[in-house]
Amino acid sequence: MTEEFHRIRRLPPYVFAEVNKAKAQARARGEDIIDLGMGNPDTPTPPHIVQKLVETVADPRAHRYSVSRGIPGLRRALAGYYERRFNVKLDPETEVIATLGSKEGLANLASAITSPGDTILVPNPSYPIHQFGFIIAGASVRSIPATPDDEMLEALDRAVRHSVPKPTALIVNFPSNPTAYLADLDFYRKLVAFARKHEIWILSDLAYAEIYFGDNVPPSILEVPGAKDIAVEFTSLSKTYSMAGWRMGFAAGNPKLIAALTRIKSYLDYGAFTPIQVAAVAALSGPQDCVAEIRDIYRKRRDVLIQGLHAAGWEVPSPEGSMFAWAPIPQRFRELGSVGFSKLLLKEAGVAVAPGLGFGEHGEGFVRIGLVENTQRLRQACRSIRHFMTEHGGTTPTTQQAAPLSGKQPAHS
């Protein structure tokens, strides 16, 4: 009885565990740790959304089992959002389903469409569920470059020609976690054409659709004509409306994929608590000023962080989207690896970051820094990092503006 269960054996040790353990020990000693390691929004959910929850939860009728695929009003609200934001028309009955956050939706769709031995194409580095949702379902994963450019397209072509069996699905995520890359509509056109030609499903993770900082507004892959033939897209209210703990997300697009996810979820859950779904309708259909305000908060935090790190001598590209900076480890620390560097930064600077190795082997050489503290705390973190850098060989301050993180950026160490 000592042998591990089959699916557990396919999961590697949790890369973040060492850093999390060191963080907990430091806090137990009373140390002030600035935690930039987890993508956990710290801003409050907008009041009108909270008020709708409070109003609905007072109704005893809302305490019964809900609807696994989402109440009709919520599915209509998501369709309305897609039409306003992307000019994409969706049928709320056949092309939309509510999920318990985008993570749950991705994992359950992987289980619904995967046969043991299937080959799935996943960017590396990427958010762990993109890979492990399919690994848990029994698939084999083939890594492709994470950059939305010709390098990824060429790798896809090689994968189709040399993978046995032929890949059945492809994951994309722009704005991406952890790299913060953005894709444009022209890239999606090429991707859709490729997938339709080779009959490959596309699962697009658009959780950071509304967290962008410049003129490059993230598009939806469903804007491409014919995309709904092969693509489904996952969105979430977690970052857009600071509703991470509410666990409210969606899948939209290809009716066959939506039907598969609907069927498997009908066996697994009764959907989110009805008052949460009603509040989600208020989020999607109510005033949208809060979305711009949340975006502006992250933009200001990004500017403070990047400028502070540059002043400390740490050259980190400025992200154009997402709530993360993807930071190459300074050269003199690279031999430590991302886990060792993260632990040293925690120990000596009191700043927690996420080791890049946790997002795939090609994340080694980087750390992910979350914009999840206010500007005062970010300035404090940068001062601590500057002292840390000085103690380990000096700093090289710069007054140059940080380059935006878009297009081509080294993703492999």
- Clarify whether residues 64 and 21 are in a common domain: no
Report the first-to-last Cα separation within the chain, whole angstroms. Answer: 40
> What residues does 122 pair with on adjacent strands?
143
Rounded alpha-carbon distances, angstroms, from residue 259 to 78, 234, 252, 266: 17, 14, 11, 10
- Clarify whether residues 53 and 28 are in a common domain: no
CB contact at 8 A, 130 and 123: yes
- Clarify whether residues 130 and 253 are in a common domain: yes
Is 1 among the domain residues?
no
Q: Check residue 396 and give its pLDDT.
A: 54
Q: Domain holding 315: CATH number?
A: 3.90.1150.10
Is 303 among the domain residues?
yes
Q: Check residue 409 and give its pLDDT.
A: 43
pTM: 0.91
- Clarify whether residues 122 and 194 are in a common domain: yes
Residue 60, token pair as written in the block: 């005893």
Q: Check residue 412 and give its pLDDT.
A: 34
DSSP element (H, E) containing 61 = none
Is 397 among the domain residues?
no
CB contact at 8 A, 167 and 145: no
- Clarify whether residues 183 and 269 are in a common domain: yes
Is 400 among the domain residues?
no
- Clarify whether residues 308 and 254 are in a common domain: no
Report the domain count for the chain: 2
Residue 91, token pair as written in the block: 């049928």
- Clarify whether residues 80 and 24 are in a common domain: no
Please spell the DSSP secondary structure of 265-326, one letter per residue. Answer: HHHH---S-HHHHHHHHHHHHS--HHHHHHHHHHHHHHHHHHHHHHHTT---PEESBSSEEE
Domain extent at residue 387:
6-44+289-392
- Clarify whether residues 144 and 65 are in a common domain: yes
Per-residue pLDDT of the chain (413 residues; tens, 9 = 90+): 667 787 888 887 777 877 888 888 988 999 999 999 988 899 999 999 999 999 999 999 999 999 899 999 999 999 999 999 999 999 999 999 999 999 999 999 999 999 988 999 999 999 999 999 999 999 999 999 999 999 999 999 999 999 888 999 999 999 999 999 999 999 999 999 999 999 999 999 999 999 999 999 999 999 999 999 999 999 999 999 999 999 999 999 999 999 999 999 999 999 999 999 999 999 999 999 999 999 999 999 999 999 999 999 999 999 999 999 999 999 999 999 999 999 999 999 999 999 999 999 999 999 999 999 999 999 999 999 999 999 998 665 444 444 455 444 433 32
Q: Is 299 exposed, middle or buried (0-12, 13-18, 19+ CB in 10 A)?
A: middle
Give the integer Cα–Cα distance in Å for 390 and 386.
6
- Clarify whether residues 362 and 270 are in a common domain: no
Q: Domain holding 244: CATH number?
A: 3.40.640.10
Is 138 among the domain residues?
yes
Is 413 among the domain residues?
no
Give the integer Cα–Cα distance in Å for 97 and 165.
30
Is 75 among the domain residues?
yes
- Clarify whether residues 21 and 51 are in a common domain: no
Residue 192, token pair as written in the block: 């859709």
- Clarify whether residues 111 and 62 are in a common domain: yes
Q: Check residue 398 and give its pLDDT.
A: 47
Report the amino acid identity of residue 239. Answer: K
> Which of 247, 271, 287 marks a domain boundary?
287
Is 403 among the domain residues?
no
- Clarify whether residues 76 and 220 are in a common domain: yes
